[in-house]
Amino acid sequence: MNLLVTAGPTREFLDPVRFLSNRSTGRMGYALAEAGVARGHAVRLISGPVTLEPPAGAALTRVTSAAEMLSAVLDALPTCDALVMCAAVADWRPKQVSAQKLKKNAMNGTLELERTADILQAVQGVRHPDQLMIGFAAETENLTAAADGKRSAKGLDMVVANDVSRSDAGFEVDTNAVCLITAAGVETLPLMPKRAVADRILDWIEANHRNRP
């Protein structure tokens, strides 16, 4: 298959020094790309700013902002069989971006924000019916209900949900404990290495892959 995987955070700049971002390290997305290559799939990895070495054999596109990630996803989408949207894309960006570093005495303490593009929502308007779409939901409460709502609202085939309030799962660690949520129900996986989680996700993708005409 042709797999399209996104990973890592985005950075939404206020000025050349400051930006909004999140705690994503990209480890889960890179594990997915590595597992895909190991299984013989053609993998395109679209990565936000991380310190990880990309898996050998994956085609890498580096991006910084949510807008850049959206553009890269839409560019690669027509040839993919499955999109695994693992990146932690910023929901908001500063409304005004300064070309020069803002001085403290020139800032009034209020930062006006605007929404970034919803990449999964944008994809729904252009996806091929046979393409699988997998999203991730990082939650701190009401895990399965919130994630299943995301699956339904965005027309996803599966959502991988994890509780990022846990110290042993989610951000900045090598293990994860997730729920795989589909229209058929919820499969709860125990705590395991992120590479093992990646293999379970790819098992589902391979089992549900629909050959495109």
Percentage of the residues of the chain whose pLDDT score is greater than 70: 98
Stronger pLDDT, 109 or 159, i.e. the higher one: 159
* pLDDT value at residue 211: 59
Distances (CA, A) of 149 to 60, 104, 145, 146, 152: 31, 41, 6, 5, 5
pTM above 0.85, yes or no: yes
Percentage of the residues of the chain whose pLDDT score is greater than 90: 90
Three-state DSSP class for residue 120: helix
User: Which helix or strand (DSSP H or E) is residue 180 part of?
Assistant: strand 178-182
**176-210: pLDDT as tens digits:** 999 999 999 999 999 999 999 999 999 999 999 97
User: Which helix or strand (DSSP H or E) is residue 200 part of?
Assistant: helix 194-208
User: From CA 161, how far away is CA 54, in angstroms rounded?
Assistant: 24
**127-167: pLDDT as tens digits:** 998 999 999 999 999 999 999 999 999 999 999 999 999 99
Least confident stretch, 21-25, 44-48, 107-111:
107-111
Mean pLDDT of 64-88: 97
Q: Which domains does the chain have, with CATH numbers?
A: 2-92+114-208 (3.40.50.10300)
Distances (CA, A) of 120 to 55, 127, 150, 157: 24, 10, 10, 12
- For residue 83, pLDDT over 50 is answered with yes
CA-only gyration radius of the chain, Å: 17
User: From CA 71, how far away is CA 53, in angstroms rounded?
Assistant: 23
* pLDDT value at residue 109: 83
* pLDDT value at residue 213: 44
Which residues are tagged catalytic? 22
- For residue 7, pLDDT over 70 is answered with yes
Q: CB count, 10 Å around CB of 213?
A: 5
Q: Which residues pair with 88 in a beta bridge?
A: 9
